[in-house]
Amino acid sequence: MSVTPLPTGLSFQSGEGELDAARSRIEQCLSGLIPAETIWPRALHRAQRHALLSPGKRFRPLLTIFLTQGCGASADLVEASIEVGCVIEMVHAASLILDDLPCMDDAQLRRNQPTTHVAFGESTAILSATALLNRAFGVLARNKTLSAEQRVELCDLLAYAVGSTGLIAGQMADLDNDGEASVAEVERVNQLKTGALFDFASDAAAVLAGSNAAQRSALKDFSHQIGLAFQLLDDVKDVLQDAAMSGKSAARDEGKTTILAIDGLAETKSRLHGYMDGARTALDRAGLSNTTQLSAIIDAQFAFLDAI
């Protein structure tokens, strides 16, 4: 399949509107990486585009792009990071399709639209998730800007992030959550299920930029803390927001042990602020050149924290 080329000439240091410009590039890239709805098998490709192109904040690809830039990567590698970030979004979309299935969370609504299995049927949803995941590895393997060594390392890192010691392990552990778990055990599940793709985003930026060991370590600490914060805020939203507010099925955590259920709202909010402080400290330690832009991305994603 041919990939729609990205328009060139946009600068990620253009000042006002640069985050909107980056989001626009991400949307264009995502749309071009998967087949059009008119290509056979049409139902499969409609389902993929339904899941992948539904409105989202694109937090993971934005982090990938701006972490790569902040680490000092060359302009062509910052450009390549758009596609790498979209790979993460493809894997994330695949994981959401599976997470929403009746045998998992049995969710009916995602991003203000019917979940993929509701709209297209369970079999098509499963095949769509599989296709998105496979396409993600193909995109990495075929990126012409990256060296062969970078492509191999990124494919290996993604396989680890998704696999039976990463995202899939976290999903399995979440299914086994029967309401009896400690905070440490819940954090471990959150780090695997949600944090794995944040880890890949920071690892990918380090690979693209050729970061040294100290910077890689700081980025790893950042992704660990931001992953924990992201999942904990999602758990809070699941309780405090109804489906109309969140755009997805609510009360999905009933019967499971969550940090919010263990600690209560006040302690959970304090813990969330602790994660965020840890993430910002790690970013400072990484010595990036664009912390202002990264802070804006993070602030936008976690704006709900100020309302609770």
Q: What is the mean pLDDT of residues 60-71?
A: 98
DSSP code at position 64: H
Mean predicted confidence (pLDDT) in 270-287: 97
Percent of the chain at pLDDT exceeding 70? 91
Average pLDDT (244-268) is 78
Q: Residues 103-160: pLDDT tens digits?
A: 999 999 998 899 999 999 999 999 999 999 999 999 999 999 999 999 999 999 999 9
Q: How does the average pLDDT of the chain come out, rounded? A: 91
What is the domain class of 20-288 according to CATH? mainly alpha
Question: DSSP letters of 93-128?
Answer: HHHHHHHTSTTTT---EETTEE-HHHHH-HHHHHHH
Sign of CA dihedral 189, 130, 48, 104: negative
> Could you tell me the pLDDT band of residue 8, with boundaries at 50, 70 and 90?
very low
pTM: 0.92
**pLDDT tens-digit map of 164-196:** 999 999 999 988 887 678 899 999 999 999 999
Q: How confident is the model at residue 240 (pLDDT cuts 50, 70, 90)?
A: confident
Exposed, middle or buried, 227 (CB in 10 Å: 0-12/13-18/19+)?
Answer: buried
Q: Where do the structural domains in the chain lie, given as residue ranges?
A: 20-288
83 to each of 16, 34, 47, 80, 222, how far by Cα in Å? 23, 12, 21, 6, 22
Contact 268, 236 (CB under 8 A): yes
**pLDDT score, position 252:** 66
Q: Where are the alpha helices (DSSP H) in 36-182?
A: 42-52, 59-70, 75-99, 116-120, 122-142, 148-162, 167-175
